[in-house]
Structure 1
Amino acid sequence: MRWRANLTTWLLSAALMVLFTMGNAFAEGNGKRLALVVGMSNYVLAGTLPNASRDAEAFNTFLKDQGFETNLVLNADRRGLAGALSNFSRKIGPDDTALFYYAGHGMQLHGENFLVGTDAKLESEFDVPAETVALSEIIGAMEKRARISMVFLDACRNNPLAERLTREVEGATRGAATRGLAPIETQGGGTLVAFAAAPGQVAADGTDGHSPFTRALIANLSGAGLEVGTAFKRVVRDVRKETQGKQQPQILSSLSLEFYFGPETAAPQTTPAVQTPAVQTAMPQTAAVQPVQPALTVPAMDPEALEAEKDFKKALKIGTARIWHFFVEKHRTGEYADLGRQALAQIEPAAVRNQSHLPQSVEARLLPDKDKRRNVQVALASRGFAAGTADGVFGGQTREAIKRFQSTNQQPASGFITERTAEALGIKVNDRAEGIYSSPKARRYDVANLEGLETDQTVLRALTCLRHFETVYGVFEGHLYVAVRTGIILAVYARGIAGGCGAHLASISSQEENAFVASLFNADQTFFNTGYDPSGNVSYKMGPWIGLTQDPQGKEPRGGWRWDTGAPLTYTKWFQDMPNEGKKGDDIGMYYAHRNGRADTKSVYVDSWDDMGPTDGTGGLILEFE
């Protein structure tokens, strides 16, 4: 077997907002299916990938049979690839499904992924932008235009040019050109990216003209009644089997809509189709693959497997590290558990993943002292599970009691206290971990997809109220903070949203709290109102509203400031020379910074405040939930 290396504005009327949301829902049944299929076999200096072009041709035929309007590009240099991508992006409309398939060489440099044109020489790292196309640019262009974006990468993870770059580029050992593709994060709520193999693995080129990954995609994606996330589970199964476990595809998805390549419901099965020898060998004709479809009938599953599949679909649509952690904690064994761990590996470094979510680490967070552990032992004993002396020390007897209690309550018998176990015991635990819970960039979340996985009821309540907005959220010192992206909004409306959700605009009492709140929105430039003020000759960057207010009778400009909650101002982070009462009525606080003259403020990190007035608007607000 040969092996191929693997890869706004504020809505002033609530009615308009409802219409906007409904419009998105109605769009689900409209739009075209558009695909760009690329196969790269003949590289000038990176060798030949014999099957890449054949795989592209086969997948192109498959997509046509599924109703896609396709454009097939083979053996393109960097300019040809960029041109094809440009033409493809211009075709995409807001109701369309856009798919990009690539078979060929890929690489990463300084944590960014690139697809390589056939003419690439890559003699130095400075050649990479000119001779490759950044994967992030492709995904970003699709996400901006399409309702659903899908990327399938049967691509190289250790091509010879990247390996040479690793050896020859000064500083490569500090994270320049490296094996495999860097982890990626999608920014939209309708994106799926599928890789042929996990980082560090190579992808088989195949022995009969096609790679195992592309063969499995064609055989499984169009199964009747199989949503793409579920179908991909079967792709993983087939590839692992064909490669004896050497290759395991991975999927990263933030799809908020279901997508089916084939029929959304399975037709009643009558007489099984007979698989002829021609069916077994014919490729790339997709029609030859279709008779195999009876084998794709969804098998009978036990209740636990059905729940795992249901939760897996939810986790795919949310796509955050936190939700994948909850998924793999809830479902520890089986194929969906393996897929969940793969998804988590794509979006969170191993060190963070292993340190903070090992069973003992979770238990230590939930039960930080002996008194709480003693309460567990007492609760176990009261239910007939002898845990030894209630001394707050979890020895062998306590661990066995926990296991037996978990088994009795149909929970994974790990012997360590989880949130589910504590709840079943009636024990109140420290159930809030610190940090960002969501995607780093604002997204709209469907609470239905969080239910059954997200354990923080305040999160569910907040997101239910904010369901029409895109948000970034997290917890600091037991309080939930939500950065809400609204488009340009006045302070009076920001306070209205806060009151309507049973929250208040954020009050900040320490440097650490301010740093955390600032981290929620600085990664997303759409939270800011930017521009140039000729009167002061400054390029300003106005951030979200916070609950900072001044008594109009206070001594100007610094007197009488307090928080909306009534709390006094004990910590401040005013921008230089602020507050300045620039105009009468500047009695409300927001995040703010500026640069002198006409300047680009995109790179300015905003964690300072300014006083603004009732006619000023900015791109969002920070809510605080107790």
Structure 2
Amino acid sequence: MFIRMIAVLAIVIAGTAPALAKRIALVIGNGAYEHTVQLPNPANDAELMATKLRGLGFDVVAGQDQTYSDMRRTVMEFAKKAYGAEIALLFYAGHGMQIGGQNLLVPIDAKIEDETSLDFETISVDFILRQMSKDVKVQMVFLDACRDNPLARTLARRMGPSRSGNVGAGLAEIKVQETGGEGSVIAFATSPGDVALDGEGANSPFTSALIRHIDTPNVSIQTVMTRVTGDVFDETEKRQRPWVNASLIGEVFLNKQAVAAAPTTEVASLGNTATTTPQAPAVNQAAVNTATQNTISWEREKLVWETVKDSNNVADYKSYLETYPNGTFAGFARNSIKRLESQSQVASLNPAGTAPQTGTGIVATLPDPQKAIPGTQATEDSLGWNRTARREVQARLNLSGHNVGNPDGAFGPKTRAGVAAWQTQNGIVPTGYFTAAQYAFLTTQTAVQYTAYAAELQRKQQAAAASRSAASTRKTSTTKSRAKNNGGSMNPAGAAFLGGVVGGIIGGAIGR
């Protein structure tokens, strides 16, 4: 739980920069899971974040691919150092889960076979937050742990219908007002209860954006998180929106740059004791004006981007680029232009009334940019296919001309080779694994064929069922016929035996 923390603003107006206040960070990235889906990015995320924070003056306690015992030791080392810190920061990337509203971080050796496992195989976020509450002025929490977690689904199944509702998707909201925090920033990679993307590059979308902005000079952490949210929302095509809850009494800067001022004046910065009698600082008006102008420019650029980002008109994005050729959203604008121009090219190749081309490297029916992202085991696992769905995918691959054998729901080497061949034929990176967009394209591409296939399959199943029913009827009829011919339900030998027994009983009765 959080405690009350006060954010003291960093205002450095001196000829030389003073010593940095005490900053402690705990950075953990878990991806090499032993009993569930491995994640490719968390170790990279943690390493890059640790480097970035060290550059900002943090004493970093870091760990990668940690077991339960490793994590306990790492948290203990962090707790000892965090006592009395001006800023204590937690960054975690990896699998996480929520049970009954409690957020849990998952070590790489966790099995989580039942509810008992939770206390002995996971690390509670609340437990770590308690270690950050000992005379700490500013608390910062960044959790990139909202990924889809198969262990949570397994636990939910074993808990049964009455209790499985306690297992939620993603992570649960942490409400600052409940803990009395007044100097805290809490950030999730996506909204509470939602699942975040691991990303297709070396780092997740959330961590990439956070690293890109967190050390921006003279920008408050509040503004940093606004930019991070915007970047992730755009980069994920609006599928992921980071969630941030901040309770600060003023702006907090992680990279406050010194501004020239009168040499005899020094003001405390995050706990530094003033060495001279405080005086009214000599303000560098030019610097103030520049900072104000930068803020206005940023807000203006953001407003322009908000206006054009959902446009389907290439001219709107080009207009943004003319005004901000090196703007924050320039890359996204260029990508949107490419996407719209590609759509236009497809439309010209497939005019209205003609069938879309397939197998030519042009994904005509799905202009989704995600189709260009290579598929991985993680992207395919996120689709949540059961055996029936996998059989359908295999059938569709067969219908697209890539024979993967009899649809049995098992994705072996032959199926993977068929997926890769289909991807190559359609101009997609041939990894042998699907993304959501690629599966959607395959579904659209084989819609007509699969409808006919499904109808034929249903006809055969109905015919087989009718045949079995007729055979069962014939068997029943034969059995009844035999029973009738044998004098009811008794065969001749049985009748003779019963007759002898009855005759003996009657004879004996007469003799007496």
Normalising by structure 2, what TM-score? 0.46
Report which of the two has the higher share of strand: 1
Structure with bigger gyration radius: 2
Normalising by structure 1, what TM-score? 0.38
Report which of the two has the higher share of helix: 2
Q: Which has the higher contact order (CA 8 A, sep 6+)?
A: 2
